[in-house]
Amino acid sequence: MGEGIDSAKLMPWLLAPGADFRATVRSFKTVDPDEATLRRLAATAMDVSQLGQLGRVVAAKRDAIAAATSFLPIRLGLVGSHTLDHIADALEATGLRHSILLSLEKAPYGLVTQAVLDPSIGFAAGSVDYVLLSLDPRALGLHLSELSEGGAESAVQAAIDQMILLRDGIRGRIGAACIFQTLVPSTDPLFGNFDRRVAGSSRAMIEEYNRRLDSILMDGDLIVDVAYIAATVGLARWNDPREWHGAKFPFALEATPLYADHLCRTIAAARGKSRKALILDLDNTLWGGVIGDDGLEGIALGNGSGTGEAFTAIQQLALELRQRGVILAVCSKNEEANALLPFREHTEMLLKEGHIAAFVANWNDKAGNIRDIAATLNIGTDSLVFLDDNPVERALVRRELPEVAVPEAGEDPADYPGLVARAGYFEAVSFSDEDRKRADYYAANAERQRSSASVTNLADYLASLEMVMTAIPFDATGRARIAQLTNKSNQFNLTTRRYGEDDIQAFEADPSKYTLQVRLADKFGDNGMISVILFDKGGDTWSCDTWLMSCRVLGRGVEHQVLAEVAAAAKAEGATTLTGHYLPTKKNGMVAEHFGKLGFTKIAEREDGASDWSLDLASYEAPDLPIAVERSA
């Protein structure tokens, strides 16, 4: 059974409709709607009733709207094997959200092939720009298993052949482009997990159909990945047998706003109406805290804390978007020097100044700044998305610039990447030619796949990683992360000594301490700070106080390269011996032989398992490892 959808949470990036929603819509029965008001209404999370209310206004006033606004008119034909009314009702209002003004033609209920092929029943030639083929597995004979010999293949091929027939009719007779949909599998299995291995199970046939569907698209045809949309909602919520049996709805009624949004964003993308630039606030949007108050060491960013990682994830998304061609800009209320500081000096910043096409940090109002940014970039304000944690700034921009998309960022930065990505602001329908700059990102991923697949020799693999280790003394920038690592690392931690930031700060200035903070980057990206080393300098003997490492980089030879650094430094200051100590805990058994593996000799072992180790520097030779070392930040 369908499990119900909370429509208020279906599209969390949208603001809830105002209490005056219906009154505003109704006022358009007497006056023509204006673009700003339509955009403000359409930018809210309308439920199916509200979509219908606004949609009826759009249908009734289409000519006036087309004449007086920038919404792009598009004619869409709807063909379906099920009820289309609720979808049609939602589309016109949703279209406004994506800057398109839809006019709809509905084929008679259930008449799929006839509507496409027979001009006396279906659409006249040249009457629509797109035809949506909204078919469900039942219409294509893929809803029931096909367990006879060869039955699965012929069922899938028959379904694909049917789509080819429809495609040729739409393109040939009607002269429109097709909008295909992937099929959503049933919530209910036949065998269970084994379904995926039985070619004739409904689920396996639907997967195979979805795979083949891509190959029948021709130039200008679009595809809406309904299987994916359903997955984001959850199959048990998406599929609602009661609404199918009772009303022939292909999916739960309350999922309609999300479906309509995906359909409209796809059409809008094909017509160049996707957004082009992402404007980012800084404080509490790209990092936690206020740079002007908290300073470089005080802001939350990067590995270690959940909050810091959440902000890293936002930066990762921005960087990914940039790599596929989305323009990044900054709009922040800040002193410019403060705003730039993290970009220039914070080691955990993924975004650099060079990634930002327009950087505006001042105390002017943000609506004005956003207009300036659009002018600088030479794009329309309707191409912009503005991400800001501050509800006051969001409200101001929505009021002054209703054509700017403003995701309703909530309290938790962990939600931000999902809000921006799932809103479909930057929907694309092609990946080619002018977008080729995006390829870097995909190339790196593909390379990672190939590396693990083809390199069987470990040494070759490590060499192929192109590792670069940065080993520098403790400093103010790294202080918080160093303290955090000493407090959080349990497994690869020889002595498990916990230090606060004040301790770390003291070590920075203490000439009797040798300190290292170690970062590791490879060709796939930056692993961040992965090791912390602290030695007490004696005259002849340097004694290891702390040696910890992130388990993420186990097996890369990092600890050997770190030892080479320590040994070289100790020799340079005239020491002859390094000593190491292992203090066992419940969690650090994996490093009991750490110093032994590095070539130290065990000199003592106590009853509790603790051990002391020694390395004679005169006979130590640094290993030759495929890790380049940088000794400045």
Partner 1 sequence: MDRDQIIEKLVPLMEDVFDEDDLAYSDDLSADDIEEWDSLSHVRFIAAVEKAFKVRFSTGEIEGFKNTGELVDALTAKLG
**Where along the sequence are the contacts to partner 1 (CB under 8 A)?**
4, 7, 22, 26, 48-50, 52-53, 56, 83, 85-86, 89, 242-243, 245-247, 249, 253-254
- C-alpha 413/C-alpha 425 separation (Å) is 19
In degrees and rounded to multiples of 5, residue 431 shows phi and psi of -145, 90
Q: Which of 119, 108, 220, 105 is nearest to 169 (CA)?
A: 119
Q: Say which DSSP state 363 is in.
A: S
- C-alpha 141/C-alpha 436 separation (Å) is 39
Q: Which of 99, 162, 109, 104 is nearest to 129 (CA)?
A: 104
The SS3 assignment for 354 reads helix
Sort strands 130-134 and 327-333 into parallel, antiparallel or unpaired: unpaired
Query: Which structure tokens are listed for 56?
Result: 């009826």
- C-alpha 403/C-alpha 97 separation (Å) is 9
Q: At closest approach, how far in Å is the CB of 132 from partner 1?
A: 18
Host H or E run for residue 541: strand 541-549
Where do we find the tokens 């020889």? 494
Measured CA distances, 77 to 116, 126, 133, 473 (Å): 10, 11, 9, 66
Query: Which structure tokens are listed for 36?
Result: 């700003």
Strand order in the sheet with 327-333: 358-362, 327-333, 277-280, 384-387
Residue closer to partner 1, measured from CB, 12 or 599 = 12
Residue closer to partner 1, measured from CB, 254 or 389 = 254
Rg (C-alpha) for the chain, rounded Å, is 30
- Give the residue ranges of DSSP H helices in 457-593: 458-464, 479-488, 501-509, 558-572
What are the start-end ranges of the E strands in 225-336?
Answer: 277-280, 327-333
Q: Which of 552, 553, 564, 549 is nearest to 517 (CA)?
A: 549
The SS3 assignment for 543 reads strand
| CA atoms within 13 Å, Cβ hemisphere of 335 | 8
CB 289 within 8 A of CB 334: no
Residue closer to partner 1, measured from CB, 84 or 286 = 84
DSSP codes of every residue in 6-64: -HHHHSTTSBPPPTTHHHHHHHTTTSPPPHHHHHHHHTB---HHHHHHHHHHHHHTHHH
Query: Which structure tokens are listed for 269?
Result: 């993308």
- C-alpha 478/C-alpha 303 separation (Å) is 11
CB 107 within 8 A of CB 115: yes
Q: What is the largest CA-CA distance in the chain?
A: 99
In degrees and rounded to multiples of 5, residue 336 shows phi and psi of -60, -40
Work out the burial of residue 141: count CB atoms within 10 Å of its CB; fewer than 13 is exposed, 13-18 middle, 19 or more buried.
middle
Q: At closest approach, how far in Å is the CB of 48 from partner 1?
A: 5
Residue closer to partner 1, measured from CB, 47 or 309 = 47
Residue closer to partner 1, measured from CB, 50 or 186 = 50
Strand partners, 387: 280
Q: Which of 337, 331, 351, 353 is nearest to 296 (CA)?
A: 337
Query: Which structure tokens are listed for 300?
Result: 């939350």
Query: Which structure tokens are listed for 301?
Result: 């960013």
